[in-house]
Amino acid sequence: MTYINLPGVNLWYTDSGGDGTPVVLLHAASGNADSWVHQVPDFTAAGLRCIAYDRRGWGRSRPDPAADQPGYLADDLAALLDHLGVTAAHLVSTAAGGAIAMDFALGHPARVRSMVLADASAGVQEPEYLDAQHRLRPPPIEGLPVELRELSPRYRTFNAEGFQRWIEIARNSRQAGWENQRSRNVANYAALETLRVPTLVLVGQADLMTPAATARLYAAHIPNHRFETVAEAGHGSHWEQPETWNPIVLDFIRQH
């Protein structure tokens, strides 16, 4: 666990090290690098090198208010990979982290071995998709506490300890200005159709924010994609059901 000074941010990251294939874990708006506690042990046991970071505006990373803010989604990731000497990696993202994965894959496709978009809208900027999202998330849903929007009824009911830990991470993650994000690439359907990066779209069947029906809208425009769901899981399927989620993702990564 350490920091790297990048333009406009002192970025906090973790790196399991070793000579395994690199995997970068990209957290949700409701999380930080700690959100991957259920994945890192399984992934490293599978021989992978796990890299995670708190993006600027989140967690322990410290943006420089005198510099250009909030920066671009893909630039910090590119600079971190350069610093670590990683030429290409698998990108594993959840929720808002999917926008970073997509922006990086569109801008640096040769550096992406594969991409996982879990419970993610992936920063897609297509009128049809945005209209569906707008109808899906009316003010009553957007106004719910984050834990009600993102965690399934099953998880909230039957995993009190995990529920409380998730809330702790969510409440201690976002800094002022966290919602300001910029992408270098426009992720419309035409752009998605140019992607040749192997992509897994993985959605919890109880996800209120990005249900399978809307995720399929953009997934259909990614040529080399696989679509999977996790039964009864919400918007944080990786946190709720790692025993199901991890094997799906590891199987996909092994193929690429």
Alpha-carbon distance 141 to 152, whole Å? 14
Q: What's the token pair of residue 209? A: 């924010």
pLDDT of 177 reads 64
Give the C-alpha separation, 187 to 219, whole Å. 12
- Virtual torsion, Cα 125, 130, 132, 134, nearest 10 deg: 150
Q: Note the maximum CA span of the chain.
A: 48
Cβ distance 239 to 169 under 8 Å?
A: no
Predicted confidence pLDDT, tens digits, the chain (256 residues)? 699 999 889 999 999 999 999 999 999 999 999 999 999 999 999 999 999 999 988 999 998 888 888 888 899 999 999 999 999 999 999 999 999 999 999 999 999 999 999 999 999 999 999 999 999 888 888 899 999 999 999 999 999 999 999 999 999 888 866 566 789 999 999 999 999 999 999 999 999 999 999 999 999 999 999 999 999 999 999 999 999 999 999 999 999 9
Residue with tokens 């666990």: 1
Q: Say if residues 247 and 188 touch (Cβ distance below 8 Å).
A: no
Instruction: Please state the pTM of the whole predicted model.
Output: 0.97
CA distance 206 to 131: 21
Is there a contact between 141 and 225 (Cβ–Cβ < 8 Å)? no
Instruction: Give the integer Cα–Cα distance in Å for 113 and 49.
Output: 14
AA letter at 71: G
């910029």: which residue's tokens? 182
The Cα 58–Cα 71 span in angstroms is 13
pLDDT value of residue 68? 80
- 3 state DSSP class of 228: strand
CA-closest candidate to residue 218, choices 229, 231, 206, 227: 227
Q: Which residues contact 253 (CB under 8 A, 6 or more apart)?
A: 21, 23, 48, 90, 92, 113, 114, 116
Beta carbons of 199 and 223 less than 8 angstroms apart: no
Which two three-digit tokens encode residue 188? 């419309």
* Residue 198 contacts residue 117 (beta carbons within 8 Å): no
Domains recognised in the chain with CATH numbers: 2-254 (3.40.50.1820)
